[in-house]
Structure 1
Amino acid sequence: MIRCLVVDDEPLALDILTDYIAKVPFLELVKATTSAFEALSIVQNDLIDLVFLDVQMPELTGIQFLKIINGKCNVILTTAYSQYALDGYELDVSDYLLKPIAFDRFYKAVLKVQNQQSQSTPAVTIERPVAASAPDFIFVKTEHRIQKIYINDILYIEGLKDYVSIFTAVERIITLQHMKKLEEVLPNQRFARVHKSFIVSIDKIESIERGRIQIGDKVIPIGDTYRDNFFKKIEDRNI
């Protein structure tokens, strides 16, 4: 089974590729998204075998996306502009689909990926358990760049009105990412949502007293909505 991710800023294009994937028995759709940054997090934190990637997107171009993931999975470029084919092949994509995409051309492209995977099955089988153990880092969009943050460096995350702040021991990174999305991406056993405005790294907690968490100099409240789930995670680590 080939696990697929579709990235395109046009909802109609997402619908077409989603429909095509559903017709092919050896393809499994993991996610169809209009957000290149959401797609980056999924690729870095999940076992994705194949990305259908639009070239022209407002947040991040497909070529930039390819350079960031650096061969982590197979990629089939999708675009209405044939001039991007050379850039894609220089970055070793599996195929190039020109919009509007016909199903027979789509099927030919995914068969090529299936054949490539079948030829490399032993290597994939050995590597996957390591990749599945836990994500090491995430990418977030800051004002001027896309920043890599190692998950082990995160102390806590604070959500404000229009942005979130990710705090490490040495810096504060401000991003427009949503709290909900960060909560989904971060490893569930290592992080806990404790308040509508806070996610904490469980390993970085120094003490818990009277409904408050101490991490370094920061005192973080525990909200009633999140209390039971948080303390269940803490109880699992009690001795």
Structure 2
Amino acid sequence: MTIRCLAVDDEPLALDIIESYISKLPFLQLVKTCASATEAMQVLQEEKVDLMFLDIEMPELTGIQLLNIMKNQPLIIFTTAYPDYALEGFNQDAVDYLLKPIPFDRFVKAVNKAQERLQRSAKPALEPVPVPAAAPAHEHEFMFVKADYKTIRVDFKDVLWIEGLKDYIIIQTTDQKIITLLSMNKMMEKLPESRFLRVHRSFIVALQKIDSIEKSRIRIGKKEIPIGEVYKDQFVKWVEENNIQ
């Protein structure tokens, strides 16, 4: 990438130094040197400029004033003998702020910053690569719960029903009863919706384990589970969708 540069300074010696430094870096191309901000404005209207080395204290129009009236300005590296303007310089989104006399290594560092910024802006915007969402719990065949000072694996296929007791829940499986500190709402988040349904404020049932439905009660083995009024419509809808009545 060739960077087209403009140097603006009312001091001839300062312009000579900038011109000399530019000539030493093959990726920089000097478009012109200007002794005033008004001259620079004319050049900017006629030429493509990627980077401008700009003095601040100049007669008629300062470097800051030039930037305030410019549209579509190039990248700016300030070159000045006055450190007091540093804050104002960075408020103008300058690439860098070089204090005279400017060492060559400091000049190169500033130019490298400009090159990096130009390279970033030249890259075409890439569409974000979609990040696969973390698999929800129900895409697995099991969950883990904490009980008896350990973490226990519970296979969904073994769960018969879940009963809520204030801050605790009982998970009844085919071969054990697990008591854990968890809310019913949090438990529902862990369960696959297609296999479990909340039928009462205190009960979640494994739909595939239902043996029979008797009015407002569900029977799983010898266990009778009430169907709450709040959850009745959702349960009836599930029954209708599965054509079991």
Q: TM (normalized to structure 1)? A: 0.50
* Cα distance in 1 for residues equivalent to 2:53 and 2:61: 15
Indicate the residue corresponding to 1:92 in structure 2: 93
* CA-CA distance at 1:93 after TM superposition: 0.9
The DSSP-based 3-state class of the residue aligned with 2:15 is helix
* CA-CA distance at 1:41 after TM superposition: 1.3
* Cα distance in 1 for residues equivalent to 2:124 and 2:9: 30
Return the index of the structure with the highest Cα Rg.
2
Q: Flag as ranges the 4+ runs of structure 1 deviating above 4 A.
A: none
* Cα distance in 1 for residues equivalent to 2:49 and 2:60: 21
Pair 102,119 (structure 1): closer, same or farther in 2 beyond 3 Å: same
The CA RMSD over aligned residues, in Å, is 1.5
* Cα distance in 1 for residues equivalent to 2:18 and 2:95: 16
Which residue identity does 1:65 align to in structure 2? L
* Cα distance in 2 for residues equivalent to 1:54 and 1:118: 25
Indicate the residue corresponding to 2:38 in structure 1: 37
The DSSP-based 3-state class of the residue aligned with 2:60 is coil
* CA-CA distance at 1:91 after TM superposition: 1.1
* Cα distance in 1 for residues equivalent to 2:22 and 2:124: 25
- Write out aligned runs for 1:7-86 (5 A): 7-86=8-87
CA contact 2:8–2:53 (8 Å) conserved in 1: yes
* CA-CA distance at 1:45 after TM superposition: 2.5
Which residue identity does 2:8 align to in structure 1? V
Which residue identity does 2:94 align to in structure 1? V
Indicate the residue corresponding to 1:171 in structure 2: none
Specify which structure has the bigger relative contact order, considering alpha-carbon pairs within 8 angstroms and separated by 6 or more residues.
1
Kindly tell me the number of residue pairs found equivalent between the two proteins.
124
* Cα distance in 2 for residues equivalent to 1:66 and 1:123: 27
Indicate the residue corresponding to 1:112 in structure 2: 113
**More helix per residue:** 1
The DSSP-based 3-state class of the residue aligned with 2:79 is strand
Q: TM (normalized to structure 2)? A: 0.49
The DSSP-based 3-state class of the residue aligned with 1:14 is helix
Q: Which runs of 5+ in 1 are unaligned?
A: 125-239
* Cα distance in 2 for residues equivalent to 1:47 and 1:63: 20
CA contact 2:67–2:73 (8 Å) conserved in 1: no
* Cα distance in 2 for residues equivalent to 1:70 and 1:100: 30
Indicate the percent of aligned positions where both proteins have the same amino acid: 56
* CA-CA distance at 1:71 after TM superposition: 4.8
* CA-CA distance at 1:113 after TM superposition: 0.4
CA contact 2:3–2:50 (8 Å) conserved in 1: yes
The DSSP-based 3-state class of the residue aligned with 1:120 is helix
Indicate the residue corresponding to 2:221 in structure 1: none
* Cα distance in 1 for residues equivalent to 2:65 and 2:31: 22
* Cα distance in 2 for residues equivalent to 1:49 and 1:63: 18
Moved more, 64-73 or 105-114: 64-73
